[in-house]
Structure 1
Amino acid sequence: MKVGKLDTDLLRKIVFRHITFQREEVLVRPGVGEDCAVVDFGDYACVLSTDPITGTASEVGRLAVHISCNDVASNGVEPLGLMLTIMAPEGTTADEIEEIMKQAGREAGKLNVEIIGGHTEITTAVNRMIVSATAIGRQIKSKVVATRGAQVGDLVLMTKTAGLEGTAIIAHEKADQLIAYMGPDMVNSAKIMMDKISVVPEGMIGGAIGTSSMHDITEGGLLGAVWELCEAAGVGIEIYMDKIPIAAETERVCKYFGIDPLRLISSGCMLMTISMDKEKDLLEALKEQGIQGTVIGRVTTGGRFLIDGKEKLEIAPPESDELYKVV
C-alpha cells in the first residue's frame, strides 16, 4: 500500500465494514470526511477526534496539539481537553521528549486547552518520533456542525491559503536546499506559516454564524478535503481554480519539488459551506479576526469539478499526500 492514510475504498472495505456494533448515544460515527465522533451527553454533545503526527520530525509537539483541536473546531466546538501519546524510537533523549512537551504545553495554553492525560514510551516499534493526540470538546447538541451538512446551492469558502502546513513543514525540513533557490527571507517566511495552523478561531466563528458544514484541510490538501466533503454530504461541487489563494512561498516550494499545492497537507485552512444569505456575515466576522476568507466555489447536485479556465477537470479521490514525495 502507498504511504499515507488509507484511501476511501480501503477504509470502507477493511476498516468501516468491521465496525458493526452501535450504541444509541453515538450521534456521529466513522465515515469518509467525518473527522470527529459525537456522543450524546444529554443537553450537550461530547465531540472527540484523534490524529497522529508522522510526516515530520520538526515541531511535532506543536503540530500534534493543533491537528486534533482543528478537527474538533470543524464541528463548531471549542476544544477543552487533550490527551497525548508519544512513541519515541530507541536512542531518543530526555531533552527531545521535553522539547515535545514544551511545544505541546505552550500551544495548548494558547488555545485554552488542558492536556489531561496520555502515554509516553520509548520503543523499537518505531524509527522516528510519533505523537498521537486526542482532542475533546463539548457543545450544545443542536449547535454541532458536521461535514455531511453541506447543501446544494451553498457557497464554498476556504480560509487562509492552500498548502499552508505542508509549506511550513518542508521549509523546516529542507531549509538548506531551499535557501539556495528562494533565499533565506522567503524560507523564513515559509517557516513561520506554521504560526497559522490553528483553525479553532474560524471554527468558532463558523459555528456562531451558522455554516452548513466545515472540514479542516489536512492530508490530501484542498482537493482531497473537497472530495471528502462531497462524499460525506452526497453532493457535487464546482471549485474555481482562479479563486484559490496560494501564497508565493507555497508556489516557490511546490515548483522546486515538483508537487501540487492543491494536494499538499493544509492544516490551518478550513473548508466551509454556507448559504448565500450568510456569506457577508461570515466574511466580515473572519476579517474582524484577521482571518483571510475566500469564496472558491459552490455546492451542486452532482459531479465534483475543478474549473480551470475553459477546462472542467474531475476531482479525484485523495491519494498519498504530496508531502511524502519530499520528506
Structure 2
Amino acid sequence: MAGKVPPEVLERILSKIRSNDPRVLIGPGIGIDVSAVSFGERTLVASTDPITGAVEDIGYYAVHINANDVATSGARPRWFLVTLLLPEGEERLAGKIMGQIASEAGKLGVSVIGGHTELTPGLSRPIVVGTMLGEVDGRPLSSAGARPGDAIVMTKWAGLEGTSIIARERREELATAFGRSFVERAESLAEYLSVVDEALYAAAFGANAMHDPTEGGVANGVHEMADAAGLGFRLYTEGIPIREETEKICSFYGLNPLALMGSGSLLIAVPRDAARLLVERLLARGIKATLVGEFLAEKKRVAIRNGDELPFKRPKADELWKLFKA
C-alpha cells in the first residue's frame, strides 16, 4: 500500500542506527519531524520530505512542507536543497518547478543553496525531494516532547493539503459536481499550507512539542506525537474543525477527512493550564486554533464521540492514495 512505511517496520530499521556524535541533539525516530546538531550557542535543524501526491504547484508544496517541519522545532527555516526527479522527456518541467520553489522560498526568507535534477526512468509524474535547514538558539523542540496531561491544540482545519491537491488534480470532475467557484475555493486552501508563523509563536509561548501532520492527516499526526513521546491520548474528534470544501470533497470520493494529508494544520502539545491562553493568543493573531484533546500517561489512544470513549486506530495510509495510486 502506498504511503509511509508502517511504524513497526520503521522501528526495526531505526533501532539499528546509532550516532556516536554528542553534538547530535535529535536523531531519527518514529514521529520525529527533524534532526538537530549543536554548534555551540546555535543549533542546526534539518528536515527532508518528498512531494509525491501533487503535480501542479509541486514546487510550492515542497518548500512549505519542509519549512513547516523545521519550524515545529522552534527554528526559523533558512536554507533549502532540492532534488527534482522528472519523467523522461519532461525536462521543461525543471524550469517551472524551480520557479515555484524560488518564489516560495523568497517569501519565507529562505535561500535555495543547491540540489540535483535528473530525468528518471519509470516515472509517470515528477517527484520533488526537499531538504530544509534552519537554526535556533540552544536546544530545539522535538515532537517527542509532549508530556502527560498536556493539552492538544490544533491550528486551522483538517485535510487542507489533501483538499487542495484533489481540487487541482480532479478539477473538471469536481467542477461538474459542485461548480467552478467551489473548486477555486478548494484549490485556494493551499494558501494556508504554511505553519511557520504559528509554530514560531507557539515555541516562544512555551509549547512542549509540535508536529506538522502530513501523510495520514491529523489522525496519524496525533499517533506519531504519541509514538515519539511514549504516551497515549484522548481526542475530541467531533470538535476537530473541517472546512466545508473538505467535507464535500471527502463525501464525494468516500474519504475520511481526518486521515487526509494535513499540512497547513499544526498540532501543539502545551501545558493544560496554558492551553486556553494559547488558543486566545493565536486567534488574536488571526490563526484559527482549537483545543482538540490531551496526552495521557497511560498508553490508551481513544476518541470521544457522542460522549463515548472509543478506540482511535491509526490510518493504514493517507486517504489521498485512494485517488492517486499510479
Q: Normalising by structure 2, what TM-score? A: 0.96
The alpha-carbon deviation at position 151 of structure 1 amounts to 1.2
Aligned to 1:72: 70
* Counterpart code for 1:173: E
**Sequence identity (%):** 40
1:65-104 pair list within 5 angstroms: 65-94=63-92, 96-104=93-101
**1:203 aligns to 2:199 (yes or no):** yes
Q: Is the 8 A contact 1:8 1:317 kept in 2?
A: no
* Per-residue deviation, 1:309: 0.8
Structure 2 counterpart SS, 1:18: coil
The CA RMSD over aligned residues, in Å, is 1.3
**Residues 290-315 of structure 1, C-alpha deviations (whole Å, 9 max, x = no match):** 11111011122221111111332222
Work out the CA distance in 1 between the residues paired with 2:155 and 2:72.
12
Contact 1:244/1:294, CA 8 A, preserved across alignment = yes
CA deviations over 1:133-157 (Å, ceiling 9, x no partner) = 0000111124x11111111121111
Distance in 1 separating the partners of 2:133 and 2:91: 30
TM-score by length of structure 1 reads 0.96
Report Cα offsets for 1:87-119 as digits up to 9, x if no partner.
Answer: 11101042x211111111111111111111111
Q: Give the aligned partner of residue 105 of structure 1.
A: 102
Report the alpha carbon displacement of residue 74 of structure 1 after superposing the two structures with TM.
0.7
- Look up the match of 1:158: 154
The one of 40, 43, 48 equivalent to 2:41 is 43
Please list every run of 5 or more consecutive structure 2 residues that lacks an aligned counterpart in the other structure. none
CA apart distance, 1:35? 1.4
Q: Would you say the 8 A contact 1:209–1:278 is kept in 2?
A: no
Instruction: Answer yes or no: is the 8 Å Cα contact 2:33–2:142 preserved in 1.
Output: no
Alignment-derived partner of residue 123 in structure 2: 126
Match among 8, 22, 26 for residue 24 of structure 1: 22
Ranges of 4+ aligned residues in structure 1 off by more than 6 Å: none
* Alpha-carbon contact 1:7-1:318 (below 8 Å) kept: no
- Displacement of 1:120 in angstroms is 1.1
Partner of 1:141: 138
CA distance in 2, matches of 1:251, 1:318: 18
CA contact (8 A) 1:90 1:123 kept: yes
In structure 2, what is the equivalent of residue 236 of structure 1? 232
Contact 2:210 2:266 in 1 (8 A): yes
Looking at structure 2, the residues matched to 151 and 323 of structure 1 have their Cα atoms a distance apart, in angstroms, of 31
* CA shift digits 1:63-85 (9 cap, x unpaired): 00011111001111110010011
Shift, 1:125, TM fit: 4.6
SS across alignment from 2:47:
strand
Deviations 1:130-184 (A, max 9, x none): 1100000111124x11111111121111000000100000000001111122221
Q: State the match for 1:57 in structure 2.
A: 55
Structure 1: where are the runs of 5+ without partners? none
Cα deviation, 1:271-308, whole Å, max 9, x if unaligned, reads 00111332244223322331111101112222111111
8 Å CA contact 2:276, 2:291 repeated in 1: no
Evaluate the alpha carbon distance shift between residue 21 and residue 145 of structure 1 in structure 2; reply closer, same or farther with a 3 A threshold: closer
Instruction: Tell me, yes or no, if the aligned pair for 2:153 and 2:279 is still in contact at 8 Å.
Output: no
1:237-276 counterparts in 2 under 5 A?
237-276=233-272
Tell me the CA shift for residue 316 of structure 1: 2.0
Which of 286, 289, 313 is the equivalent residue of 1:290?
286
**213 and 174 in structure 1: CA distance in 2 versus 1, 3 angstrom threshold:** same
1:223 aligns with 2:222: no
| SS of equivalent residue, structure 2 residue 147 | coil
Partner SS, residue 219 of structure 2: helix
Most deviating of 247-256 and 105-114: 105-114
Give the AA of the match of 2:101: A
Task: Answer whether contact 1:227 1:318 (CA < 8 A) is retained.
Answer: no
Query: Which residue is equivalent to 1:6?
Result: 5
Report the Cα distance in structure 1 between the residues aligned to 2:89 and 2:181, rounded to whole angstroms.
34
